[in-house]
Structure 1
Amino acid sequence: MNSGNRGLPKKRLMRHDRHFVDELAQRMGEGIGRMVRVTNIVSNQDQPRTSLGDFSDLVRSIQKHGVLEPLLVRKGERGQYELVSGERRFHAAMQAELTEVPCIELQVSDSHALEIALIENLQRQNLNAFEEGEGFRTLVDKYDYTHEEVSDAVGRSRVTVSESLKLLVIPVDIRAECRHADINAKGMLLEIAKAPSSEAMSALIHAIVVEKLDRRDLRERRAEMAEETNPKIGATDQGPDKPKTAKPRPFVWRYQPKDRPFKVSLAFSTAVEPETKEVIAALEDLLDELRSSAGSE
């Protein structure tokens, strides 16, 4: 047995078997499914994932069972294939010393290739909030997508897309601080992104870690920072002799479904009724925080 193919299973009907991809090519047309040498595959420069993470388990799985899902590729320059989807599988296969991997060749544009890479990673929940935002920004800046078009392309709400893009105001070094502090919930990151400076962002991260702030506490701390930076904020049109106006009562959104053992109330920091999309965004932030908390337990 060729040592370079070590790890490839011998069963003919498995998805990654040479016979499978050859038969797929015959059924669906030349150039659809094929085995490709790993030295003839290059990564996509627009790949949204910036860190492959630990894939030692994947390497062991490939050594034992082979690559269970074909990589998606497209024809690149100089006869090479450019990877569209399957970055971790590709690198794990190389580390497992495979010389060739099963691939399906696609005829797609640059923007469509990025869409596919984004969708695969989003569905697998493999991208962090910043990687997701960078992927969206590439579609917007490089391929002239609107936020609505990005939303349609990747199957996320427009609010989610806009919020992900807002996170990118956080400098790279502050993003690293967030990762080291294990701050992953988008709601918390959005509050950090609203801070007036990098120093303020870093201070908020420190407060989250030391004081165990939740999002409400974080929002209040950020507001205090803004007032300290510019004490005139909120004082416009209030002369020295004018009485202070009463602080408006927050608007409370309530959901009380019939025949359900729960009800939901959300208090917004405004007296004006929020738009439906703002309520949805607040609920999504809450779910992000709950999932993040559950994952850390």
Structure 2
Amino acid sequence: MSKRGLPSGVKMRHDSHYVEEFAKSANRSVGRIIPINQIEPNPEQPRVEIGDLSELANSIKQKGVLEPLLVKPNGDGTWMIIAGERRWRASNLAGLREVPCIELDIDEKSIAEIALIENLQRKDLNVWEEADGLASLSSRFGYTHEQIAKKIGKSRTTVTESFAISGLPDAIREKCRQANINAKSTLLEIARQFDEKAMHGFLDNIKSQELKNRQQIR
């Protein structure tokens, strides 16, 4: 089997919902095959957990990379991933030497938007990653909740809720992690508490109730 990322007879495809829009507005958009070792991940990637890549790697071994990575040239013969880090890592696991890419000449703001939007569309982000990703757009580029909502295709209420979760204190975040509390509805209830002390009390009540429920089941 060829070690090139794109199988013969198969054209690159991409989601016109956001890729074509940015490609049209970019100064330069080029489809090309790029060696894997000349591509590097985006340090501002909103996704923290890459997850298991074995299934994706097996699919790439059989069919190649059907959806190209979006990359930006670094100017030194390497490219930074805008979107598609899992495909890049899985291609490496699959033994590919090259992968299909769409090269975009866009600014830092557009890179951050695409990276977040792609993950949101794929539902690849957990509640924490989504919340912190949206908050990052605001802190880095000064976007309002309304502007972010329009860019990602979600309601303003949804964006505001994500900001509330992102604003939870580090100690509360860690307590949620230890208790495996990841449901958005529960995290919003915690965020609505009066202060951090009340948040700790709310979490303690949740843990106490869970313990009672387990004891009743026994």
Q: Deviations over 1:12-35 (max 9, x none)?
A: 23438xxxxxxxxxxxxx851000
> Aligned partner of 1:142: which letter?
R
Q: Do 1:174 and 1:201's aligned partners in 2 also have CA atoms closer than 8 Å?
A: no
Unpaired segments ≥5 residues, structure 2: 14-27, 214-218
Greater relative CO, 1 or 2 (CA 8 Å, sep 6+): 2
Give yes or no for contact 2:6–2:66 (8 Å, CA) kept in 1: no
- Residues 10 and 154 of structure 1: is their aligned pair in 2 closer, same or farther, counting only changes over 3 Å? closer
Question: What is the RMSD of the two structures over their aligned residues, measured on CA atoms?
Answer: 2.6
Task: Give the conservation status (yes or no) of the 8 Å contact 2:131–2:166.
Answer: yes
Q: Which runs of 4+ in 1 moved over 6 A?
A: none
Query: How far did residue 90 of structure 1 move?
Result: 1.0
**How many angstroms apart in 1 are the aligned matches of 2:208 and 2:175?**
12
TM-score, structure 1 as length reference: 0.59
Measure, in 2, the Cα distance between the counterparts of 1:147 and 1:199: 28
Matched residue pairs, number? 197
Alpha-carbon shift at residue 123 of structure 1 (Å): 1.1
Relative to structure 1, is the Cα distance of residues 141 and 67 closer, same or farther in structure 2, using a 3 angstrom cutoff? Answer: same
> Structure 1 residues 174, 88: closer, same or farther in 2, change over 3 A?
farther
- % identical aligned pairs: 41
Matches within 5 A, 1:112-261: 112-172=110-170, 174-175=172-173, 177-179=175-177, 181-195=179-193, 196-197=195-196, 199-200=200-201, 202-207=203-208, 209-211=210-212
Query: Could you tell me which amino acid in structure 2 is paired with residue 43 of structure 1?
Result: P
Q: Structure 2 length as normaliser, TM-score?
A: 0.79
Using the TM superposition, give the Cα deviation of residue 84 of structure 1 relative to its aligned residue in structure 2, in angstroms.
0.7
Measured in 2, the distance between the counterparts of 1:121 and 1:159 equals: 20
Distance 1:154 1:99 in 2: 33
Residue 56 of structure 1: how far off its partner (Å) = 1.2
SS at match of 1:78: coil
Q: Say if 1:181 and 1:54 are closer, same or farther in 2 by CA, change over 3 A.
A: farther
Displacement of 1:66: 1.2
Tell me which residue corresponds to 2:109: 111
Q: Which runs of 5+ in 1 are unaligned?
A: 17-29, 213-297
Q: Is this contact kept in 2: 1:67–1:93, CA < 8 A?
A: yes
Task: Give, in whole Å, the separation in 2 of the partners of 1:208 and 1:104.
Answer: 51
In structure 2, C-alpha distance between the alignment counterparts of 1:10 and 1:62, rounded to whole Å: 10
Q: How far 1:139 moved relative to its partner?
A: 0.8
Contact 1:38/1:94, CA 8 A, preserved across alignment? yes
Larger Rg: 1
Q: Does 1:12 align with 2:6?
A: no
